[in-house]
Chain A
């Protein structure tokens, strides 16, 4: 999507009143517009094909088809669409399943409106926002090495990542933002973003969380600093 365009949003939640509330907030932002709504995952898939939104804000627990399954289908069928979960569920299972299936973010419904806007904008910048209340679950799981959901790409497929890309992914795995990585390596945030994007493509990964998991499981992470 070219910079400066308004982000077209599809809202998916089984509660009409909640959809109305979120639509009211999002439509008040100059850089977002809600183009459609859906009450379950199945209808969301249909609407996504009709409306071709840039961003889908997706509940997790819904009747007929839940948000995780809809995310899996949409990631396969329309990979250009960013999908961010917005849910009351802080369960590890939902979080991991959503990320594993292509979600670009996982937000809890206890956010303030300004936090919601910031996180939706960050998704459109290619970042992967996670509500602080559940981010700790993910980091713990990745560090423990128990999360094996992301298949390691075969060493024989795709071009290998460069040393610079590896270095940057190692810092991603340490939880640094693009801005922090840029400062650490004395390069611009945009350059970091390009390296991350290229590395994800080469490794057939969808987002930074999967990249962090990959680095840890491949034993490519930096050793902890002795303290």
Chain B
């Protein structure tokens, strides 16, 4: 749920199947809940970031880019996965999507394993 303090890893997605899929995979691999939020829903993004996540995995969108997140989620580890849905020849300045193993490592090693309050 947006703003839930027990979900300090946030994933902001543009493409639901990418976002929900990565969130499910990383959660299964690490045991750390990943809160997937539409990057196009500004209110939900704002609420999710107000929980001071330690890791923010994101697809770039209006109001959701490295500069925005550096300001809105200070101290969070920021992981840009936008390139995972870019088609054709990669554009160097757009970067490469990180390997899923590095995302899992970042989430697992982020110190966010916490009691799962219910």
Q: Are B87 and A24 in contact (CB under 8 A)?
A: no
Complex Cα distance, B89 from A221, in Å, reads 42
The reply on A101 being an interface residue by CB < 8 A is no
The reply on B61 being an interface residue by CB < 8 A is no
Q: Are A87 and B22 in contact (CB under 8 A)?
A: no
The reply on A61 being an interface residue by CB < 8 A is yes
Q: Are A16 and B16 in contact (CB under 8 A)?
A: no
Q: How large is the interface on B (under 10, 10 to 19, 20 to 34, 35 or more residues)?
A: 20 to 34
CB-CB under 8 A from A88, the residues of chain B are 85-87
Closest to B83 in A: A15
Complex Cα distance, B25 from A15, in Å, reads 16
CB-CB under 8 A from B89, the residues of chain A are 63
Using known A-B contacts A22-B21, A28-B24, determine if residue A17 contacts B100 with beta carbons closer than 8 Å.
Answer: yes
Q: Are A21 and B16 in contact (CB under 8 A)?
A: no
CB-CB under 8 A from B83, the residues of chain A are 15
Using known A-B contacts A21-B25, A22-B21, determine if residue A112 contacts B87 with beta carbons closer than 8 Å.
Answer: no
Complex Cα distance, B22 from A25, in Å, reads 9
Q: Which among A15, A28, A61 has the highest number of chain B CB atoms within 10 Å?
A: A15
With A16-B97, A24-B25 given, name 4 new contacts (CB 8 A): A22-B21, A59-B87, A109-B15, A112-B20
